[in-house]
Amino acid sequence: MNKIFLIKWNCCSLISLSKQCIGMFFFVCLFSACVKNKATNDSIVNDFDIEVITSKLPISSFVKIKRMIPLETNNTSLLGNIEKIMKRNDRYFIKSSNRSLAVFDQSGMYLNAIGNLGNGPEEYPTLLDFDVDSEFVYILTTNRINIYNQKGKYVKFIPLLLNVAGFKVVKDKILLFVLGDSHVVHLIDLDGVTIEKKLRRDPSLRLTKAISFVRYGNDYLLFSKGHSNDILAYNIAKSKFENLNYLSSSNNISPEYSNHTLDASKTDHEDESNKRLFDGLTSTSSQTIFGSIERDNIVLWVKDVARNFTTAYSFAALIDDLTYTSSDFLVKENTDGGDVFLSYLFPYSLEDGLKKNQKLSENENFKFIESMLDNLDVEESNPVIIEYIFK
């Protein structure tokens, strides 16, 4: 390049310089294309290529309910407000207000509790969060994580010197969502020793989920940065943190903008309605769904991770002909069903849905729900678990 700038500006040198410029032009174009592709690869969905379906659409046309399971109701198994549900090893583990972790089998029969509420050495005074792997159940309580076997027998505990709101066990490490520290995500070992800290605390991160770390395929765990487009991702295979986005387009709320709008002392921010924010992130081992909200327009994004294929639906256009309640049952953020999506509805909600949709009474699914409710105390029974997948 130095030779080009030092040669005399004669006709031959101009031709030579033109060739160099053309070459540089194509290099810049190629580099720009690579950068664009990289941005797309860093997003769950490249929404530039997707047309949102806005025509009226029955949910049954793209969702299949695999099972509906009424949970057994008695004095021992009675649940209050549902705070989190996980399906592992063909069992449902349910965190409910003011009780120990409850376990039900695939038929909905109550099996046992994991540990007990209390102040004893093998108990927990409060159930903040839990996780389950193939062998153990982990209970987050004040200043420690208690470990139990699948039948509820105490094994040991992991001490914590942090105010932890949520966690996820990943092989021989644990991801923590931490309050009151300079960083909100901590990676620790199974002895409670901190390995790494990520994501400096800011106001937008107060907007937390019941499940702090959501799977994305088999490779990642996702930690949403409030309602922004930005996601902190933990690469499981590489044991490293990376940054992702929900969508590749630009009209999405950023963490900085989110913090700006959450700060009551700042009134000069632009109209929030012009920005798109995100909510409703949940997943199976092969599919991921999330919602985006822009003005009054809510879009449900469904990503088949294995096939790298995405469909988007206008939420207002969806007709619930499966539960007859509301399309909201699709986006329960406090559930993790492994290879299926989990949702839940209380029997009285299902009964109300049937009453409002009598014109569909000949539908097979309508008849199934009607028959199921005939065997339940609609006002007092535990919720009905729903397992579903996107076709």
For the chain, the structural domain boundaries read: 44-390
Mean pLDDT over residues 165-189, rounded? Answer: 96
CA–CA gap between residue 204 and residue 193 (Å, rounded): 27
CA–CA gap between residue 296 and residue 300 (Å, rounded): 13
Mean pLDDT over residues 53-63, rounded? Answer: 97
Top pLDDT among 209 and 135 is at 135
Residue 144 pLDDT more than 70?
A: yes
Residue 210 is predicted with a pLDDT of: 78
Give per-residue pLDDT as tens, 68-81. Answer: 999 999 999 999 99
CA–CA gap between residue 327 and residue 348 (Å, rounded): 17
Place of tokens 């299926």: 340
Residue 272 is predicted with a pLDDT of: 52
pTM of the shown model:
0.85
Residue 113 DSSP class: E
Residue 6 pLDDT more than 90?
A: no
Residue 271 is predicted with a pLDDT of: 52
Mean pLDDT over residues 148-174, rounded? Answer: 95
Residue 219 is predicted with a pLDDT of: 92
Residue 208 is predicted with a pLDDT of: 61
Give per-residue pLDDT as tens, 297-347. Answer: 999 999 999 999 999 999 999 999 999 999 999 999 999 999 999 999 999
Is it true that domain 44-390 has CATH number 3.40.47?
A: no
Mean pLDDT over residues 4-16, rounded? Answer: 36
CA–CA gap between residue 160 and residue 141 (Å, rounded): 9
CA–CA gap between residue 88 and residue 94 (Å, rounded): 11
Name the nearest CA neighbour of 126 among 170, 163, 86. 163
Q: Is 147 left (phi over 0), alpha (psi -120 to 50) or beta?
A: beta
CA–CA gap between residue 52 and residue 59 (Å, rounded): 15
Q: What angle do CA 199, 205, 211 make, to 5 degrees?
A: 95
Top pLDDT among 41 and 217 is at 217
Instruction: Give DSSP secondary structure letters for 32-77.
Output: HHHHHHHHHHTEEE-GGG-PPB-S-EEGGGTEEEEEEEEPP-STTT
Give per-residue pLDDT as tens, 347-386. Answer: 999 999 999 999 999 999 999 999 999 999 999 999 999 9
Top pLDDT among 55 and 21 is at 55
CA–CA gap between residue 98 and residue 344 (Å, rounded): 19
Residue 348 DSSP class: H
- The tokens for 99 are 């009780």
Grade residue 259 by pLDDT with cuts at 50, 70 and 90.
low
Contact 49, 314 (CB under 8 A): no
Residue 345's contacts (CB-CB under 8 Å, 6 or more residues apart) are 323, 325, 329, 383, 384, 386
